[in-house]
Chain A
Amino acid sequence: MARIFLASFIFLISCFADDIDSFEDEYATSSFDPLSGYNRVMTEFNHVVYQNILIPTFKGYDYIMPDPAQDAISNFFDNIIYPIRLVNNLLQFKFTAAGEETLRFIANTIIGFGGISDVATNVYGLKRHDEDFGQTLGYWGIGSGFPIVLPVLGQTNLRDLIGMSGDFFINPLSYTNEIFTDDSHKYFHLNLAVKSWQLINDGSKDPELYNKLTSGAIDLYTFIKDGYEQRRNAQIKE
């Protein structure tokens, strides 16, 4: 009798033990990381900067700026950088999304008081289609290259770094000095100020987001790197 039970037990165990190799293919990833030494140091540096400078700045801004104003500023910047979404949707042959983005821009600019109100989403149900040049390069089949951690800006990879350069040139905020001043060279820092404002305003909507995402990481650098790569791959597939 005992043998029968033992045999049944072993049978049950073997049933539960799925062929582990069948899962391995699902999790095959590239481990090419030639800058890992530098990246780890920069991740730690950024962590200190976020904890001591950026997050307190987000919290201070959040304290003095009312939520509706934060939303309005965020909507305004989102509306202004519509060319990035338009161009990258077109480059990925997502014409319906590009059309919807254009309708959003028209609605938010005209009826949404220059973009401060997102009437396109709230009234007309027009969805936003975030696309950037890094995603476009991925869509065209260009691999991520290798991971790079930028000072303050954080995790990226070679493809997305090139993508950032592409987006820089079609981002209207990169021309703030030329549009609003007579001497664009003298006021070059205006562009940086405006982009910093955008970053701080967006960050202040959830000042603890970085800590929420990274608390409990077993290995901070690998956690951020892997999460970034997986998320970007998912965005490219969308």
Chain B
Amino acid sequence: MKKIIFLLFLVCSIAFGIELKNIDDTLKSDFKKAIEIMNDKSIVKEQKPLELFKLFDGYFDYSLMARLSLSKQYSMLNPTQQDEFKKQFVANLKASFTQKLGYYSDQEIEFVKGEMGNKNRYNVYAVIKNKSENYPLIFKFHPANKSDYLIYDIDILGVSLVQSYRSQFNDLSKNAGFDEIIKRLQNATADHNATVK
């Protein structure tokens, strides 16, 4: 019984999402907090990505992102393999984000607008600003339950994060098995971590 209650609590706490009407305000507020974290000299550089993950983790649907990235191959994996893949995928995603953050720490992110893509999708448009140029960014939300929305993909300069993973896994899975995919993911994560500035 305790286990079931714990599991219920766990599921609720992982994927709380944002109510549709609150998405714009939440992101506007969190973008500001993110800039404050980036500019806060009292936080050491290595700690900054962790602080940002604390801010955004609650409404990222990492599980769905992992599933979409592996596409149809995902359903062919057994539950243990699926868990392993999700773990390595999230580690890779976060390592990639941390590495990129190190390169572009002088940038700011600004909310532009939010609008329904279709009845089950909500897109938040933002721009990453630096000294000379603005880069468009789209946060794509889907309804995780009746009222709460979670992010399932991000477009940067028109390049979808999920699509990028998906293409790579699709090509890779034609010639390689699950173990090779995990190995490549681990290597890529190590590569990211080795080049963090």
**A215 interface contact, C-beta 8 A:** yes
> Please, which residues of chain A bring their CB within 8 A of the CB of B120?
18, 22
Q: Are A230 and B163 interface neighbours, CB within 8 A?
A: yes
Interface of A is mostly: helix
Q: Mark B129-161, 1 if CB is under 8 A from A, else 0.
A: 000000000000011111000001001011110
Which residue on A lies nearest to B169, using beta carbons?
Answer: A218
> Please, which residues of chain A bring their CB within 8 A of the CB of B158?
230-231, 233-235, 237
Once the chains are docked, how many angstroms separate the CA of A211 from the CA of B103? 11
Shortest Cβ gap from B114 to chain A (Å): 18
Q: Are B145 and A16 interface neighbours, CB within 8 A?
A: yes
Q: Are A219 and B11 interface neighbours, CB within 8 A?
A: no
Selected interface stretch from A6-14, A100-108, A162-170: A6-14
Selected contact of A217 from candidates B63, B64, B71, B168, CB within 8 Å: B168
> Please, which residues of chain B bring their CB within 8 A of the CB of A23?
64, 68, 142, 152
Please report the total number of B residues contacting A with Cβ < 8 Å. 49
> Please, which residues of chain A bring their CB within 8 A of the CB of B113?
none
> Please, which residues of chain B bring their CB within 8 A of the CB of A16?
11, 15, 63, 144-145
Once the chains are docked, how many angstroms separate the CA of A234 from the CA of B157? 7
B binding-site residues for A, Cβ under 8 Å: 1, 4-5, 7-8, 11-12, 15, 63-64, 67-68, 71, 92, 95-96, 99-100, 103, 120, 142-146, 152, 155, 157-160, 162-172, 184-185, 188-189, 191-192, 195
15 new A-B pairs (CB below 8 Å) besides A12-B8, A230-B164? A2-B4, A12-B145, A18-B120, A27-B71, A27-B166, A31-B170, A211-B195, A221-B171, A222-B170, A222-B171, A226-B167, A227-B164, A230-B163, A234-B155, A234-B158
A binding-site residues for B, Cβ under 8 Å: 1-2, 5-6, 8-9, 12-13, 15-16, 18, 20, 22-24, 27, 29, 31, 211-212, 215-219, 221-223, 225-227, 230-231, 233-235, 237
18 A/B residue pairs, CB under 8 Å, sorted by A = A5-B1, A9-B4, A18-B64, A23-B152, A24-B71, A31-B170, A211-B195, A215-B191, A218-B92, A218-B184, A218-B185, A219-B168, A221-B171, A222-B171, A223-B164, A227-B159, A230-B159, A230-B164
